[in-house]
Chain A
Amino acid sequence: MLIFTIRRLLLAIPTLLFISFIIFLVVTLAPSDPTANLPLTIPPEVKQKIRESLGLGQPLPVRYFKWLWQFVYIEPAHYLNQAFGFSIDTGQRILSWQTRSPVMDIISQRMPQTLWVVGTSYVVAILIAVPIGVISAYKQYSWFDQIGTFISMIGFSVPTFFTGVLLIVIFSVHLGWFPSIYDTTHSVTDWDSFVVQVKQMIMPTFVLALANAAQLSRFMRASMLDNLSQDYVRTARAKGLQEKTVLLVHVLRNSMIPVITVIALGIPNIFGSAIITEQVFKVNGIGQLLIIAIQGGDVPTVQTITFIFAILIVLFNLLADILYGVFDPRIRYD
């Protein structure tokens, strides 16, 4: 298992390098201009000077290797210096064109709210999806299954920007229960502030959870259906085990194996798909940062965030494979 993991990790390096190059090319070749959003009262000569000061005049390979070096060496070195007081000689960190500050600092600043909202919604989604999936499968084509199917269908059929705005109009504007704008400066210190935090998280979490739970519950249902028709289930029943034991111990455990990997695989994706929800509820997290950077032609930021997403996907893919091996003894990695 260890050897398998190490081999996969080593294999991931060329993959990631290749991905980083693709991302770099795509982002750099995009015809967006960091000075395009400036007011027209700023004369073109000045805009040209600004572009030069951002390093836009340099040839492509120079820019790619400079960025790669910054990403794989300078940034980690910087954190080592900070954490352990090392004094590794570093150079210029990756600077955003819009804010002229290190991209990594902004990303770590955005992490908490993204993790809060996206993380909670994923947990909620799992908690909803698993029971629904189990019951739907056990009572296939019953009214519960039909309704569960219908709700989960709605969950991934209705776009989040529609449900999001709808919720804001109902709960913020008409009822006034929840704030329509997420306060990123809020910190939880006591019970009251915790309530405030919960209130501002409810709507974005619900929207995301609904969308994710829908897919997960379908998976759970399919996986349960697969297992329910297996021979071992019949054997267990024949042994005279209680139906509850058969279902919750034997079938559920085996059905969870593929679902767990699906959950692991889904984690990096939800960061990406949370972009729209973050936009709707003004949760200024990673997704919103990415959108602003794309709109503002902020190449270093776009590149860095997309690459981090790619790393997450590769890592969680690996994790999913390892989990599969751990939970399913039939699978052997040699």
Chain B
Amino acid sequence: MTEMTDDTLKIIDRPAKSQLRDVWEQFSAHKGALIGAAFFLFVVLFVLIGPFLWLYDPTFIDIRSRNQGMSFAHPFGTDQLGRDIFARVMKGGQVSLAVGITAMLLSLVVGTGIGVLAGYFKRLDGPLMRFTDLFLALPLLPLLLVIIMLFREKLNGTFGPEGGIFILMVSAIGITSWMQTARIVRGDVLALKEREFVLAAKSIGTPSQRMISRHILPNVLSPILVSATLGIANAIITESALSFLGLGFPPDFPTWGRLLFDATDYMQQYPERVLWPGLAISFTVLAVNYIGDGLRDALDPRIRGR
């Protein structure tokens, strides 16, 4: 997770310093985005480092202390088997965030790849955009449900129940959410192709591969970054929705969606049990969306500084 943030920073590093500062100033003017970024960082540290500092094992059953409320020993209480909810929320967060980020990366790679290819090579534009339209025309949620039914057992057999469902979730969410990115990136690439510096680079015979990596990609970064943040939010929500419909991770495997689903039955006796995973999902997604909003404002010169 931390590697991911490092990466993004490095990528932003590449353009001229002044532009970066400009973007940063704009971004930090967006208070929501700033708070969002801080919160997201906090959540990431919480789920990654938390388990090392917290002594309870999320799967350890202590039957004598089940259904406890919030206390010093169990800040979030315990569940019906006496497992520590604080530990489970941390563990669940690892999975939910991992699903969110991996699925986002997958959809980003596919979306950017298709978008750049379609925008840059005229021959590929028609077929690739037809292909994108085809995907856009698929009813995604129903299909997602069916895909999960279809491949779950097979992947479980190969990668174990957790690994299998993780791969399945990530790829299912990834391959059903890349289309918007592809469209936006293609549009930007088409516009870039007419710009002088690209034409100049072309005239000196720069090979396509180099053109794309040196001149095109760095300049379509801003829509990609915005898609990335929205992608994380979307993937986290989708994962929890699937868990809610009983098609996500198995019951003994905590994720935020799963914890929330399991707790809804107990909502009246132990409202805090619904509250923690619910808040974790909502606030994380909120934070990510705010970051995206801030990035959009900061990176779009038309909106900037009005």
Binary contact track B268-306/A, C-beta < 8 Å → 1, others 0: 100000100010011101100110010000000011001
Chain A neighbourhood of B285, CB < 8 A? 156-158
A295 CB → nearest B CB, Å: 8
Which residues of chain B (134-183) have a CB below 8 Å from chain A? 134, 136-143, 145-147, 149-150, 153-154
A and B contact pairs by CB, cutoff 8 A, 12 listed: A15-B134, A16-B137, A19-B134, A30-B146, A149-B293, A159-B241, A159-B257, A159-B260, A268-B139, A273-B141, A275-B141, A317-B136
In the complex, A290 Cα to B139 Cα: how many Å? Answer: 12
Do A314 and B137 touch (CB < 8 A)? Answer: yes
Q: Does A171 contact B (CB under 8 A)?
A: no
Q: Which of A21-29, A238-246, A249-257 forms contacts with chain B?
A: A21-29
Which residues of chain B (193-237) have a CB below 8 Å from chain A? 233, 237
In the complex, A156 Cα to B286 Cα: how many Å? Answer: 8
Q: Does A272 contact B (CB under 8 A)?
A: yes
Most buried by B among A16, A273, A294: A294
Closest-by-CB residue of B relative to A150 is B32
Chain B neighbourhood of A32, CB < 8 A? 149
Do A27 and B289 touch (CB < 8 A)? Answer: no
A275 CB → nearest B CB, Å: 6
In the complex, A60 Cα to B286 Cα: how many Å? Answer: 46
Do A157 and B241 touch (CB < 8 A)? Answer: no
Q: Does A235 contact B (CB under 8 A)?
A: no
Q: Does B244 contact A (CB under 8 A)?
A: yes
Q: Is the interface of B mostly helix, strand, loop or mixed?
A: helix
A258 CB → nearest B CB, Å: 13
Do B150 and A29 touch (CB < 8 A)? Answer: yes
A144 CB → nearest B CB, Å: 14
A287 CB → nearest B CB, Å: 9
Most buried by B among A159, A268, A290: A159
User: What number of A residues sit within 8 Å (CB to CB) of B?
Assistant: 51
Q: Is the interface of A mostly helix, strand, loop or mixed?
A: helix
Given contacts A161-B240, A314-B137, 17 further A-B contacts (CB under 8 A): A19-B134, A27-B146, A146-B32, A150-B32, A153-B286, A153-B289, A156-B289, A160-B241, A222-B303, A225-B302, A226-B302, A228-B306, A229-B302, A272-B141, A279-B245, A313-B139, A317-B136
Q: Which 7 A-B pairs have the closest CB atoms?
A: A309-B139, A157-B285, A30-B150, A157-B286, A272-B141, A158-B282, A161-B244
In the complex, A166 Cα to B31 Cα: how many Å? Answer: 29
Q: Does A198 contact B (CB under 8 A)?
A: no
In the complex, A229 Cα to B245 Cα: how many Å? Answer: 45
Most buried by A among B130, B145, B283, B293: B145
Chain A neighbourhood of B130, CB < 8 A? 15
Do A313 and B282 touch (CB < 8 A)? Answer: no
Q: Does A302 contact B (CB under 8 A)?
A: yes
B275 CB → nearest A CB, Å: 10
A212 CB → nearest B CB, Å: 14
Which residues of chain A (86-138) have a CB below 8 Å from chain B? none
Q: Does A276 contact B (CB under 8 A)?
A: yes
Which residues of chain A (130-189) have a CB below 8 Å from chain B? 140, 146, 149-150, 153-154, 156-162, 165-166, 169, 173
Q: Contacts A15-B134, A226-B302; is A23 near B245 (CB within 8 Å)?
A: no
In the complex, A31 Cα to B152 Cα: how many Å? Answer: 9
**What is the interface of chain A, defined by CB distance below 8 A to chain B?**
15-16, 18-19, 22-23, 26-27, 29-32, 140, 146, 149-150, 153-154, 156-162, 165-166, 169, 173, 222, 225-226, 228-229, 268, 272-273, 275-276, 279, 290-291, 294, 302, 305-306, 309-310, 313-314, 317
In the complex, A279 Cα to B145 Cα: how many Å? Answer: 14
Binary contact track B249-261/A, C-beta < 8 Å → 1, others 0: 0000000010011
Closest-by-CB residue of B relative to A311 is B137
Do B133 and A15 touch (CB < 8 A)? Answer: yes
Q: Contacts A173-B268, A276-B244; is A310 near B153 (CB within 8 Å)?
A: no
Chain A neighbourhood of B146, CB < 8 A? 26-27, 30, 294, 302, 306
Chain B neighbourhood of A149, CB < 8 A? 32, 293
Do B282 and A162 touch (CB < 8 A)? Answer: yes
Q: Does B264 contact A (CB under 8 A)?
A: yes
Do A310 and B137 touch (CB < 8 A)? Answer: yes
Q: Out of A19, A150, A154, A173, which one reaches B138, CB within 8 Å?
A: A19
Q: Does B267 contact A (CB under 8 A)?
A: yes
In the complex, A333 Cα to B91 Cα: how many Å? Answer: 54
Do A15 and B139 touch (CB < 8 A)? Answer: no
In the complex, A140 Cα to B31 Cα: how many Å? Answer: 13
Do B286 and A272 touch (CB < 8 A)? Answer: no
Chain B neighbourhood of A306, CB < 8 A? 139, 142-143, 146
Do A30 and B282 touch (CB < 8 A)? Answer: no
Do A165 and B267 touch (CB < 8 A)? Answer: yes
Do B142 and A290 touch (CB < 8 A)? Answer: yes
Closest-by-CB residue of B relative to A315 is B137
B146 CB → nearest A CB, Å: 5
Q: Out of A31, A156, A294, which one reaches B153, CB within 8 Å?
A: A31
In the complex, A17 Cα to B34 Cα: how many Å? Answer: 48
Closest-by-CB residue of B relative to A29 is B150
Do A291 and B150 touch (CB < 8 A)? Answer: no
Q: Out of B137, B153, B281, which one reaches A15, CB within 8 Å?
A: B137
Chain B neighbourhood of A157, CB < 8 A? 233, 237, 282-283, 285-286, 289
Chain B neighbourhood of A150, CB < 8 A? 32
Do A276 and B241 touch (CB < 8 A)? Answer: yes
Do A272 and B140 touch (CB < 8 A)? Answer: yes
Q: Out of B133, B141, B290, which one reaches A153, CB within 8 Å?
A: B290
In the complex, A154 Cα to B293 Cα: how many Å? Answer: 13
B248 CB → nearest A CB, Å: 12
Which residues of chain B (100-159) have a CB below 8 Å from chain A? 130, 133-134, 136-143, 145-147, 149-150, 153-154
